[in-house]
């Protein structure tokens, strides 16, 4: 079976009646949303919040009850993919441009289960260009300060136009090559006016990483395992 499906099924098995569930964004998270939809059809009673408009649409078509974030105070479990995961369980996220809402969900969740196939495991973050959400106002000046931190960077494009996030912002994709100190880099980037959020997710938010391998096995990694 597809490793993405395997890890999605494993993560969804932790959902119980009455929980508020955070829904991620991306192809792996979509597997989880479809699996949750099946369990809801089978009688599971939950409410969900989505990290993107795309995931909200998929959840609604899968029969999952969606509530606005303004209507809840905490999320019980958040299930989402990642673009890179290092040994210390720091993540790069935002390949799907949803990093701001994703980070808000991760930060407000009792448990954050990261679901990935083995291709996402890296020794050091940074091969995947780091997505940084920036305000459209003065985006070029913000970009200049990002580049001064030692990356090559550009504003993400779609159909020859700036890609606009669900929050009306832009994404600067920043290629650092190697990120040796993710927390320090995150703090430096966040101190630039015009930066809304970075795609570096601190390991303090992560409960476990569920990894799927092409041989059909999965492993659940916690920081002490
Ligand atoms: C979305 O903004 C990202 O953070 C995704 O979690 C990430 O891009 C993983 O997507 P895939 O599961 O499609 O690789």
Give the number of other Cβ atoms within 10 Å of residue 223's Cβ: 13
Span 196-217, mean pLDDT? 97
For ligand 1, residues with CB inside 6 Å are 24-28, 80-83, 93-99, 102
SS3 88: coil
- Structure tokens that stand for 38 in this block: 């099946």
Pairing of strands 20-23, 47-50: parallel
Q: Catalytic residue at 16?
A: no
Atom of ligand 1 nearest to the CA of 4: 12
Answer yes or no: pTM beyond 0.85: yes
Counting ligand 1 atoms within 8 A of each CB, the residue from 50, 78, 93, 127 with the most, and so the one to mutate, is 93
Task: Give 42 Cα–ligand 1 centroid separation in angstroms.
Answer: 27
Given a cut of 80, whether residue 58 has pLDDT beyond it is: yes
What is the pLDDT, as a whole number, of residue 198? 98
Is pLDDT above 90 for 1?
A: no
Coil, strand or helix: which one is 51?
Answer: coil
Q: Is the pLDDT of residue 20 over 90?
A: yes
Instruction: Determine the average pLDDT of the residues in 39-43.
Output: 98
pLDDT reading at 51 higher than 90: yes
Q: What confidence score (pLDDT) does residue 223 get? A: 80
Closest residue by Cα to atom 1, ligand 1, is 96
What does the pLDDT average to over 186-198?
Answer: 98
Compute CA distances 120 → 117, 124, 163, whole Å: 6, 11, 24
User: Tokens in use for 99?
Assistant: 């990093």
């Amino acid at each position: 079976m597809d490793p993405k499906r395997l890890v999605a099924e494993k993560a969804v098995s932790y959902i119980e009646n009455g929980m508020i569930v955070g829904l991620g964004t991306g192809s792996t998270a979509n597997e989880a949303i479809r699996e949750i939809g099946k369990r809801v059809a089978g009688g599971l009673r939950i409410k969900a919040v989505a990290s993107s408009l795309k995931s909200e649409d998929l959840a609604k078509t899968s029969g999952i009850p969606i509530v606005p974030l303004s209507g809840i105070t905490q999320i019980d479990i958040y299930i989402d993919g990642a673009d890179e995961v290092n040994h210390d369980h720091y993540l790069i996220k935002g390949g799907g441009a949803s990093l701001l809402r994703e980070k808000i969900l991760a930060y407000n969740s009792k448990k954050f289960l990261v679901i990935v196939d083995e291709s996402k495991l890296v020794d050091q973050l940074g091969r995947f260009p780091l997505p940084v959400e920036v305000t459209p106002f003065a985006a070029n000046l913000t970009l200049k300060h990002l580049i001064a931190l030692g990356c090559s960077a550009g504003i993400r494009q779609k159909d020859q136009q700036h890609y606009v996030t669900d929050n009306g912002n832009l994404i600067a994709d920043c290629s650092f090559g190697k990120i040796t100190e993710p927390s320090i880099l995150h703090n430096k980037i966040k101190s630039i006016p015009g930066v809304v959020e970075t795609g570096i997710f601190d390991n303090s938010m992560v409960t476990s990483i569920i990894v799927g391998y092409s041989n059909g096995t999965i492993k659940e990694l916690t920081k002490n395992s």
